[in-house]
Amino acid sequence: MIKAVRGTRDLLPPETALWDFVEAEARYIFRAYNFHEIRTPIFEETQLFARSVGEETDIVSKEMFTWQDRGRAQSDQGQSLTLRPENTAGVVRAYIEHQLWKRGLNKLFYIGPQFRRERPQKGRYRQFYQIGAEALGPPSAGSESPTRDAEVIELLASLLERIGVAGWALELNSVGCAKDRPLFNEALRKALAPVVIKMCADCQRRAATNPLRVFDCKVPQDQPIIAQLPRISDFLDADCRVHFQQVEEILTAVGVPFTVNDRLVRGLDYYTRTAFEFTHTALGAQNAILGGGRYDGLSEALGGPSAPGIGFAIGEDRLVMSLSASADEVMPKPDVYVAPIGAGMDREAARLARELRRDALVVELGDETFRLKKSLSTASKLEAKFLLIVGEDEVKAEAFALKNLGTGEQVALARNELAKKIQSGT
């Protein structure tokens, strides 16, 4: 038997009802905040991620699914392509390619799969799903404003509240900008030099190539060393300090609670200034639900114009695990089970079902070979609210027996009265 590849999984009903619920609520929130959907390809040129995410990040150095595309001619090596490990780079690539800066501030969201070759664990898969958003545009459109940072973070708090995720925590930090990052990196190198030999192999590599990535380390034995390293908050220039202070003030004003964690750097090289992460205790040690931050120089790094931006990505797999609601609670139940009784009644029942569906009702259609007892049993298992009997006598009289499966009440109704009665729920 062929099974799903390790690190992937099938999403099946009723669990998919939770996914549909989350995505529908996300679309509602995005609409309220005037974000619009963008859909980018699931694979891009490898160089896009190397230049944006960072060659020394774990994502690029270890986790990408990359292959050499065949060229048209036998001598043509083709181009290196990669399944997207994240979506911000693709959105910024599309922003540049389609000259979206002409529209001013772009508020874009996406929902879709991403791919990383990492060790599968609770809530983490090699094909995983993200809900994300990016707000970017020319500086003249207000894309650099701390108001934009606070709005994006507030959007996320609103979404978590709307879908019933209780007990989340928000951590904030400023990771500085191009002016102060070199000073911090140099201080990190000096601090790491005498102690890095005691750290894991990954940290020894990071210390030489990109010391900021040391803060990504999850090895328990390395944490006491990391706790003694310099803090980015001591190296912020005046502009970065003011920007971060204003983000904090706006979040406080709109009632979004947070704590400042000056060890928070996120896992991608393109982040500048505001970085943030939402966590949830239900997920154990790896407790991050979502995260994001500002990336003011990413467009220029990819050959585009200045386009300061801020965005986030929600790990949908892990978000669904955090829900207090169960799949059974959100899975749609049939409003009515249409039960054809007797030979030749399938076509009459199908006609009625089509009419009821046009009135936005959820309809399950039975089969004329079922006896009434079996139809009742099936309707009850499906948790239908009503049973509609379609027999020869009902069709001739144009009056159909409608049974409320909750109360047991049964009434005979004309065809044009059925939808209204079912919609009333009584």
> Are 316 and 399 within one domain?
no
> Are 340 and 302 within one domain?
no
Task: Please provide the DSSP assignment of 77-125 as one string.
Answer: ---EEEE-S-SHHHHHHHHHHTTGGGGSSEEEEEEEEEE-----BTTB-
> Are 153 and 90 within one domain?
yes
> Are 146 and 262 within one domain?
yes
Residue 342 has pLDDT above 70, yes or no: yes
222 belongs to a structural domain: no
What is the share, in percent, of the chain residues with pLDDT greater than 90?
Answer: 62
Which secondary-structure segment (H or E) carries 15? helix 15-32
Number of structural domains found in the chain? 2
Residue 136 has pLDDT above 90, yes or no: yes
168 belongs to a structural domain: yes
Q: What are the phi and psi torsion angles at 254 (to 5°)?
A: -95, 0
Give the pLDDT band (50/70/90) at residue 149.
very high
Q: Phi/psi zone of residue 266: left (φ > 0), alpha (ψ -120 to 50 degrees), beta?
A: left
Question: Where a domain ends, among 322, 355, 384?
Answer: 322
25-34, 146-155, 260-269, 401-410: the lowest-pLDDT one: 260-269
35 belongs to a structural domain: yes
381-408 pLDDT tens trace: 999 999 999 999 999 999 999 999 999 9
Question: Where a domain ends, among 322, 356, 382?
Answer: 322
Strand 336-341 to strand 288-294: parallel, antiparallel, or no bridges (unpaired)? unpaired
> Are 344 and 310 within one domain?
no
> Are 308 and 343 within one domain?
no
> Are 268 and 365 within one domain?
no
Instruction: Give start and end residues of each alpha helix (H) in 344-391.
Output: 345-358, 372-381
CB half-sphere exposure, 290, CA atoms < 13 A: 28
Angle 152-121-16 (CA atoms, 0-180°, nearest 5)?
Answer: 65
208 belongs to a structural domain: no
220 belongs to a structural domain: no
Average pLDDT, the chain: 89
Among candidates 149, 172, 132, which has minimal Cα distance to 319?
Answer: 132
Q: How far apart are alpha carbons 332 and 134 in whole angstroms?
A: 31
210-241 pLDDT tens trace: 888 888 788 888 898 988 888 888 889 999 99
pLDDT of residue 122: 65
Give the domain CATH number at 317. 3.30.930.10
The beta strands (E) that lie in 262-409 are given as 272-280, 288-294, 309-315, 336-341, 363-365, 386-391, 399-404
327 belongs to a structural domain: no
Range of the domain at 57: 15-180+236-322
Go through the chain and tell me how many residues it has. 426
pLDDT of residue 278: 93
The mean per-residue pLDDT over the stretch 28-44 comes to 97
